[in-house]
Amino acid sequence: DKEPVIVLVTGAAGQIGYALVPMIARGLMLGPDQPVILHMLDIEPAAEALEGVKMELIDAAFPLLKGVVATTDVVEACMNVNIAVMVGGFPRKEGMERKDVMSKNVAIYKAQASALEQHAAADCKVLVVANPANTNALILKEFAPSIPEKNITCLTRLDHNRALGQISERLNVPVSEVKNVIVWGNHSSTQYPDANHATIITSNGDKSVRELVADDNWLKTEFQSIVQQRGAAIIKARKLSSALSAASAICDHMRDWVHGTSTGTWVSMGVCSDGSYGIEPGLIYSFPVSCQNGKWSIVQGLKIDEFSRAKMDATAKELIEEKSTAYTCLEL
Ligand code: NAX
């Protein structure tokens, strides 16, 4: 029998947490033969609700679930964790700009960076979900210098999956046959969803999405805005932000990172830039990555046209500004 993997979920009493923990306990993140122990962290006002989630996890009698810790103590939560999914944060309320939530969240991520650095397993893999996701991950990286920077990522897989979904709808093919879209940059409305290298898998080999769509204008306008504004559309329709699709994307991100992507397929992950594609080193930027042996690497050598270049630079510029706002908030 495999040793259980300890998975931390912060903000576990929230709506993504509620959708995510049963997926993890069912093996959708780490595989159907991998036992897990869940560490769930939330804050004092949510302690009772968190206890309720723990009761439901026990009641669901998941065979893979070997233990559940529900706590408001960040040290207990981070103890020996192998995987940390950071969903907890100060919510963006209606009418609030991303910048308004920035100062609250970077302070949280600075504090939780220290707890992870001191108490998590040495090879802990971290995924930051809470917004501003890229900048929270950047702050976590800066304040947990002993965690290898390659182990700190942020979630843009939901945007990636949304892009796959839109291509699938447009071309009327199953989403499982669409691959290699890219989401570049920030998990914000400046993100650049790029279908230039995307393909459809057919029995006669891969076919270019750009050629099949045969409408560059759609790819440059409507496709962009639907993917970028999808979060807002869900809030409008549900009066709540995306939760099941976010939880599913979190499982996809971790599963591909741990178990690898299939040959010839890449996914989008927010990772520390090494200067690839001219992006400022050290920024947490969403790139196309392939994964093998528990490590991601940025897909190299993709041809970037002028339109893409401008979009990729604009979202990088926003991340540089967010970084400087975050540092101002932390009075650094
Ligand atoms: P909720 O407000 O339902 O849940 C957040 C939970 O975090 C709450 O239970 C709250 O008590 C808890 N929390 C607050 N401060 C905390 C702290 N210091 N330590 C631990 N827990 C704390 O939000 P939900 O809809 O679950 O969304 C969670 C986060 O994901 C938000 O920041 C949201 O913006 C972000 N998202 C990011 C996405 C991405 O693709 N990167 C997509 C989905 C989502 O919008």
User: pLDDT (tens digit, 9 = 90+) per residue, 290-320?
Assistant: 999 999 999 999 999 999 999 999 999 999 9
With a 6 Å cutoff on the Cβ, whether 127 touches ligand 1 is: no
Which pLDDT score is estimated for 196?
Answer: 98
Nearest ligand 1 atom, CA 88? 7
Residue 19, annotated as binding a ligand: no
In the set 39, 187, 197, 253, the catalytic residue is: 187
Q: Residue 98: what pLDDT?
A: 64
Nearest alpha carbon to residue 272 among 160, 71, 115, 126 = 126
For tokens 């929230």, what's the residue? 14
- Residue 330 is predicted with a pLDDT of 86
Distance in Å, CA 14 to ligand 1 centroid: 6
Residue 253: active-site member = no
DSSP 125-165: EEEE-SSSHHHHHHHHHHH-TTS-GGGEEE--HHHHHHHHH
Nearest to 261 by CA among 286, 227, 234, 289: 289
CA distance 294 to 5: 14
Query: Which of 100, 241, 242 to probe ligand 1 with, by most ligand atoms within 8 A of CB?
Result: 241
The 8-class DSSP code of residue 178 comes to E
Model confidence pTM above 0.95: yes
How far is 7 from 110, CA to CA, in rounded Å? 20
Please report the atom of ligand 1 found closest to the CA of residue 108: 18
* Contact status, residue 29 vs residue 250, Cβ threshold 8 Å: yes
Please tell me whether the interface predicted TM-score (ipTM) of this complex is above 0.95.
yes
* Positions in the chain whose pLDDT score sits under 50: none
CA distances from 128 to 7, 81, 87, 88 (A): 13, 15, 7, 9
- From 10, 16, 155, the mutation candidate for ligand 1 (largest count of ligand atoms within 8 A of CB) is 16
